[in-house]
Amino acid sequence: MNQKGNLMTSTVLKMVIAVICIAFLVYFLSALYYSKINSQKSIEARSSLDQVRLGIINMEQNSVAEFEIFDPSPVGWMVFGFVSPELKPNSCSGENCLCICKKSAGFLGNNLDKQLGACVEKGACEIIGNLQDFVEFEIDSSGGAFSGIRLKSVGENLEVEKI
């Protein structure tokens, strides 16, 4: 009878260890997957901001008032403008800047402190000295069409809005 108890204890212990190993493997693979996805979205955000920079140059050279960028990347991320004097990413060197980054989990209303941290960690920012304050918006793909970014020159300032 005692041998059956030892055999059952050994089997239960092996099962518990197997479940722990499988759970760790699932966690590791999902972390690896989401790391790759976020890395790809950071590259897409940088590409979108490069298009914004080229759009601004195009507007200045051709004296046009508007420029539209239709780029499907990175869907689900937000476009933010940091123009307040006290709240700007370090990469912007104290200048006004446009950032594309993932929306932070604790972001409510105008609490940009947490969002600033998210943009610094995994987002992409571009210095735009004459950027005018705007309401942040999400890059989405509603109805199969991707939203874009419209740049508008209003006097000396540059407005950014969702298309």
| DSSP tag of 147 | P
- 3-class SS of residue 159: strand
Half-sphere exposure of 38 (CA within 13 A, CB side): 14
- In this prediction, residue 48 has a pLDDT band, given cuts at 50, 70 and 90, of confident
- Position 21 scores a pLDDT of 95
Is 99 in contact with 125 (CB distance < 8 Å)? yes
The fraction of the chain above a pLDDT of 90, given in percent, is: 10
Q: List the one residue out of 53, 42, 50 whose CA is nearest residue 151.
A: 53
The sign one gets for the Cα dihedral 14, 18, 20, 24 is positive
- Position 28 scores a pLDDT of 92
pLDDT, mean of residues 28-36: 84
The sign one gets for the Cα dihedral 143, 146, 152, 158 is positive
For the entire predicted model, the pTM comes to 0.68
Is 139 in contact with 100 (CB distance < 8 Å)? yes
- Given the structure tokens 């239960």, which residue do they identify? 12
- In this prediction, residue 45 has a pLDDT band, given cuts at 50, 70 and 90, of confident
